[in-house]
Amino acid sequence: MHPGPLHSLQAWHAAELITRRELTAENLVRACLDHITGREPQVHAFVHIDADAALATARRLDAGPLRGLLHGLPFGVKDLFDTFDMPTAYGSPIYAGQQPLADAAAVALCREAGAVLIGKTVTTELANMFPGVTRNPHNPQHTPGGSSSGSAAAVADAMLPLALGTQTAGSLIRPAAFCGVVGYKPSHNRVPKAGVKSLSETLDTVGGFARSVRDVALLGAVLTGDARLADPAAFSQTMAPRIGFCQTPEWALADSDTQQAWAQAEKALNTHGKPMALPPELSGLVAVQKAVQAFETARSLSPERLRHHDQLSAPLRALIADGLAISGETHAQHLQLTAMARRQVQAVFGPFDVLLAPSSIGEAPAGLDGTGDPLFCRSWTLLGLPCVHLPFARGRSGLPVGLQLVGAYGDDHRLLAAAHWVHERLTH
For 21-67, the pLDDT digits (tens) are 999 999 999 999 999 999 999 999 999 999 999 999 999 999 999 99
Name the residue ranges covered by the structural domains of the chain. Answer: 6-231, 236-279+342-427, 285-339
Alpha-carbon distance 8 to 271, whole Å? 34
Residue 109 burial class via C-beta count within 10 angstroms: exposed 0-12, middle 13-18, buried 19 and up: buried
CA distances to 19, 50, 178, 200 from 220, rounded to whole Å, are: 19, 25, 21, 21
Per the residue annotation, which of 92, 171, 200, 359 is the catalytic one?
Answer: 171
Pick the CATH number of 6-231 from 3.30.565.10, 3.40.50.150, 3.90.1300.10, 3.30.950.10: 3.90.1300.10
CATH code: domain 236-279+342-427 is 3.40.190
pLDDT at 249 exceeding the cut of 80? yes
pLDDT at 179 exceeding the cut of 60? yes
- Are 6-231 and 236-279+342-427 in the same CATH fold? no
**Residues 90-122: pLDDT tens digits?**
999 999 999 999 999 999 999 999 999 999 999
CA distances to 96, 149, 253, 286, 392 from 170, rounded to whole Å, are: 25, 11, 16, 12, 19
Alpha-carbon distance 353 to 183, whole Å? 19
Neighbours of 144 (CB within 10 A): 35
Alpha-carbon distance 291 to 322, whole Å? 9
Rg over alpha carbons for the chain, rounded to the nearest Å, is: 20
Q: 183 pLDDT band (50/70/90 cuts)?
A: very high
Catalytic residue at 78? yes
Query: Using alpha carbons only, what angle is made at residue 386 by residues 381 and 390, rounded to the nearest 5 degrees?
Result: 100
Catalytic residue at 147? yes
Residue 233: the pLDDT is 83
pLDDT at 3 exceeding the cut of 80? no
Higher pLDDT, 192 or 428: 192
What's the mean pLDDT when you consider all of the chain?
A: 97
**Residues 282-320: pLDDT tens digits?**
999 999 999 999 999 999 999 999 999 999 999 999 999
Per the residue annotation, which of 147, 300, 359, 379 is the catalytic one?
Answer: 147
pTM of the model: 0.98
What is the percent of the chain with per-residue pLDDT over 90, rounded to a whole number?
A: 97
